[in-house]
Each structure stands twice: as C-alpha cells, then as structure tokens.
Amino acid sequence: MEKAFDLVVRGGTLADGTGGALYEADVGVKDGRVAAVGKLAGAGAEEIDARGKLVTPGFVDIHTHYDGQASWDERMQPSSWHGVTTVVMGNCGVGFAPCRPEDHDRLIRLMEGVEDIPFPVLSEGLPWNWESYPDYLDALERRRFDVDVGSQLPHAALRVFVMGERGANREPATEADIHAMAAIARRAAEAGALGFSTSRTLNHRTSDGQPTPTLTAGEDELTGIALGLAAAGKGVLQLVSDFAEPAEELAMLRRIVERSGRPLSFSLVQSPRAPDSYRMMLDWLAQANADGLPIRAQVAGRAVGVLFGFELTMNPFSQHSVFAEIRDLPLAGKVERLRDPGFRARLLTEEAAGRGFAGSQPRAWDNMFLMAQTPDYEPTSEMTIAAIAAREGREPAEVALDHMLTDGGRGMLYLPFLNYAFQNLDPAYAMLSHPDCVPGLSDGGAHVGMICDGSFPTFNLTHWTRDRTRGPRLALEKMIKGQTRDTAETVGLFDRGLIQPGYRADLNVIDYDQLKLFAPQVAYDLPAGGRRLIQRAEGYVATVVAGQTTYRDGEPTGALPGRLLRGGPGGSGAPGGGVTC
C-alpha cells in the first residue's frame, strides 16, 4: 500500500521560518516539497522521530565561495555539516566564468590571493569545461550535490573576459566595454545566474599582490552591468567595499539601485580602523529601505578572525628567518625542531616584521587568543595571549609557541580582526538585530588555510539564542528566520526558507540542547593533496534536502539530491518569483 508521504518528520518543535512562536507539529513531505504541516495520520515511506527536537527550514548561506569546489566535489562541506541546504557562490566579484583559456592562470592567481585557495589545488581540480558563463552553469547542472548550489556572475572574471589586460590593470571601461559587459550580464541572468557581484576592497589581491581588477570600476560600469540584469528582469547585486569614502560610495549605490531597480546587498562589519562607522551604515540602510529601495546588509554573527598554526598559511613566526629553516619540513619535522632547546631559543629571540592577511598582525598578542577544543568566540581581554603571559611571567611568543605545539603541533591561535574592536560582540548584536540585515559572510569554501567561518549557522544558534553570557541574546525564532527565509529572499529564492505546504522540503532536525561546535581542524582532502580548515558540529540529528535525508547525526547518507539553481521566470526581484531546480 502506497504511503501518504515520502517522509514524515514526527512530533518536532517547529521554528518554521516565519519568526512566529514555536509550535509542535508533524511535517509531511511529498515529491520534494512540504505537503502538510500539523497532526498527520498518514504514514511516510521514511519517518524521523523529532520528539523533543527542534525542526527548522534548511539554512540558506548566501555568501560562499564554492565556485571551484562545486566543479570537483559533491559535498559542499563544511557548510553541509552545519544545516545548510542551499549555498550561493560567486560572491565578492571572484569566480571562474566567463574565462578564456589564456586567462585560466590569471583567475586562479586572483582566487589564490583573495580566497587563499592554493594554485595547485585549483590548477588540478578545475576541469575548465566551460568558457562562457552559461557554459559554466551547464557544467554544474550535470553534477549532483548534497546541497542546492546557486551562482552569481563575478565582476573580475567578466571584466577580464571583456577587456583583457586592460581590465586586469583596472583601466577605465569604455562605452563599448560597458555595453559588452551588460550584454553578458543579461545573458547570464537569463541563463540562471542569481545575480552579479563585485569587490571594491584593497584586502582583495591576487597572489602576486595586485589589487582585484574591479577595485576602481566606475559608476558608469557598475550601472551598465546592473541595467543588464534589469533588461533580463531578474538578478541581485552583491558588493564588498572598504567604504573609504562612505558618503560618496553609499550615494553611488543608491543611484545604481534607483536606476536599475535591482535588489542589492553589501558586506557590513565593524572595522578596527573606524569602529563606530557601522552605526552610520545601519542608519543609512534604514533610510534607504524607508525610501523603498531593496537594499540589505550581509553581516557576520561573530568576529571574522584569522587562525594561526604550523599547518596553516601563517603563524606568528612565519616571517622569521629562523623559521624559514624549517618552513618546508613536514609537520612532524617542524615539531621536532621546535622542541629542540637551541632552535627554540634562537626562534624566540629573533624579531619579525610584517603584516598578515587583511592587515592583521601575526604578533598582535593583546588581541590574540588560544583556540581551545571547545571554541570561545567572545573571549575577554583576560584571555589574550598578552594577559596569559603577564600572569605567568613569560613572553607572549613563548605562550603562543607552546600552545601551537600541543596536539602534535596542531594547536591554533585565533586573531579576531573584524567585529571585535572592543573585544566583545555587541556590534554584531546590533547588526543582527537590524531589520534590514541578514546573516552572511561565512565564506564557505574559501580562506582554506586562514579562516574557518563556514560554521556561522551553528554558531548563530548556539551563541546568540542559548549560550551568550556577555550581553543580550536573540530570540531563536528570529535567528532561524534570519538564516532561512530572510537569506533566501535576499537572493530571490522564494521557494524555500519556510516550513509551509508547497515550499521546498529542506529541513533540519536539531538536538538544540546538545548542539555545539568543535574546534577547527586541518584536512588534506583537496585536489593535489591540498589542505583546508574544516569544522564539525554535534547535534544535527538529520538534514533533509528536497525531501531526501542527506545527513544523519552529522554523517552523510549517500543521498545527493542537490542541484544547480537557476533563476526562474519571476527571478530575483519580487515575491512570487522563483527558481528552477
């Protein structure tokens, strides 16, 4: 006898994505969609006992960089370990399409520099079975994933494709260049791009140290591309910027949105250089929305922080000439030398200069912390390496070295460099509480040797709705809505993010009381044996994508129901639009 449902999630406590109060109900799934919610008599071909568990829509992570990984891997980990069922890549203006064969290495060097994905990984991993952006989507459509994957047209690739060396060298675009870029943007949106992204930050450089090709692109160029999306009737805009001249740049963004009518989101964090400027940005954002402009900010729930260690891209001794003697040794060889008293003494007495990623200082002891097995992402000033050293009567460098030598040389240090100017997460709370902000900026798939923020969705639940002790928390219902319905609608995905009949059956069953993050680890599972930071969680009982259970208790089931997302007829503009899968 045929079952009434393909899947029934029984007796869970639903945070359904609307932001409304929690309630107990069953969820019935048929043909990849939610078919019924309530007390269901009908049985499912598969049933999940969710009594005493939290049931949420699948999380929608709209700020990732899986552009390369999606071309060689089926699993978008670490994101899919953290309840994420939809990822959007192609952010910050970087990606691999469109691209002419002679520009392959150029785009790889850009991604290597901007996102810390090593050249050999990309050179070996990328199949390059595309040239145009629609070709790239077609290549992805032939693949299967553990999540749905949406893509945006990246400005750097587009600019180099149209302008060649002139584009890479940041020369102004001509009227003909802009016309060509707008035409490609229109075709990309019509082919299924969810939007277009660009970067205007000096933090983004090629591995050769050159600024990203899009850094100084003019308003005429950005407007022309946005009008290309407008001609297609769909597509969102995404931007990251230093906002060095905030008034001028924000005024430009308003004009672009007003002229094109396309929704826009931009990255917003607290900068240590101007720690109160985010408040002005929030006020500007509120006014823009009050004026009817569809603009949102993507914000991080915790500090964006660099991890240092002997297996990672940097450590506090990276720029020491003494450390250079062992830089190329395997980890065990490094550890052996670092434990030698004579070598250790030489290393600790040598001074080093220089700065690390995004201007972060790898020896900023008064803002650097020891990464514990149970991470603390809102540590106090008493927990800095400088404070520990003062209490113990030792040099900070010695404290750092001893910690990195733990666990066979795998110990890590944590340096928050954004959202932590005052050594608390109050700025993140203000941004997460703002009605025009959505959780984002996880950078899943990127910064593989320095940053591990693909765990943002789990952190947002544990820290902000349950565990925070240093200030106010956020309602669980609000946080779930923020990283499901709100993020989905920000990029024009109106078929997911809610547990309601007719919506995509992307679900999480979570043991909320036991949900926790483990410390980041290093895995050597990228092409060419490349290493990357990963971070696991505990407490995800089941994750469901399109009605199929993809993970149980954090382990993959083998199901790969995820597909490429293509922007649908209603597109990314107004509610009621959708996607095709």
pLDDT score recorded for residue 578? 43
Distance CA 440, CA 461 (A): 14
d(CA 34, CA 27): 7
> What's the order of all strands across the beta sheet hosting 369-370?
304-308, 413-418, 369-370
- Give the Cα separation of 274 and 48 in Å (integer): 49
Each residue of 161-177: pLDDT tens digit?
Answer: 999 999 999 999 999 99
Closest alpha carbon to 331 in 314, 348, 310, 313: 310
Domain boundaries, the chain: 5-57+504-580, 60-305+420-490, 306-416
As a whole number of angstroms, the distance between CA 7 and CA 550 comes to 13
What pLDDT was estimated at residue 294? 98
Q: Report the C-alpha gap between 287 and 20 in whole angstroms.
A: 26
Low-confidence ranges of the chain (pLDDT < 50): 358-359, 569-581
Q: How far is CA 74 from CA 43, 140, 173, 478, in A?
A: 31, 11, 38, 31
The CATH superfamily assigned to 5-57+504-580 is Urease, subunit C, domain 1 (2.30.40.10)
Please name the residues in contact with 405: beta carbons below 8 A apart, sequence gap of 6 or more: 335, 338, 339, 411
- Rounded Cα–Cα distance for residues 384 and 415 (Å): 10
3-state secondary structure (DSSP) of residue 253? helix
Q: What pLDDT score does 361 carry?
A: 67
Asked if 483 contacts 62 with a C-beta cutoff of 8 angstroms, the reply is no
Q: What distance in Å separates the CA atoms of residue 28 and residue 44, rounded to the nearest whole number?
A: 7
Query: Residue 280: which H helix or E strand, with range?
Result: helix 277-290
- 404, 412 Cβ separation under 8 angstroms: yes
Residues for the chain: how many in total? Answer: 581
For the chain, counts of helices (H) and of strands (E): 20, 26
- Give the number of other Cβ atoms within 10 Å of residue 455's Cβ: 26
Q: Other C-beta atoms within 10 Å of 75: how many?
A: 17
What pLDDT does 214 receive? 98
Q: What is the DSSP letter of 106?
A: H
Beta bridge partners of 437: 297
**If we measure between CA atoms, which residue out of 322, 298, 272, 233 comes closest to residue 490?**
298
* CA-based nearest residue to 83, from 537, 559, 558: 537
Q: Which two tokens stand for residue 183?
A: 């035409």
- Find the largest Cα–Cα distance for the chain: 77
Structure tokens at 318: 């990276």
Contact present, 295 and 267 (Cβ < 8 Å) = no
Q: 60-305+420-490 in CATH: which number?
A: 3.20.20.140
- Which residue from 539, 525, 393 is spatially nearest to 462, judged by alpha carbons? 539
Q: Are 151 and 94 in contact (CB under 8 A)?
A: no
Give me the pLDDT at residue 356, please.
Answer: 52
Quote the tokens at residue 241. Answer: 């910027």
Sign of CA dihedral 551, 94, 240, 285: negative
Structure tokens that stand for 489 in this block: 């609608």
Query: How far apart are the C-alpha atoms of 268 and 300, rounded to whole Å?
Result: 8
Is residue 488 within 8 A of residue 438, CB to CB? The reply is no
Place of tokens 């990357």: 532
Helix (H) or strand (E) holding 48: strand 44-49
Task: Say if residues 443 and 451 touch (Cβ distance below 8 Å).
Answer: yes
pLDDT at 355: 54
Q: What is the mean pLDDT of the chain?
A: 95
The residues near 484 (Cβ < 8 Å, ≥ 6 apart) are: 17, 56, 57, 58, 59, 60, 496, 497, 498
4 class by beta-carbon count within 10 Å (0-12 exposed, 13-18 middle, 19+ buried): middle
Terminal alpha carbon distance of the chain: 30
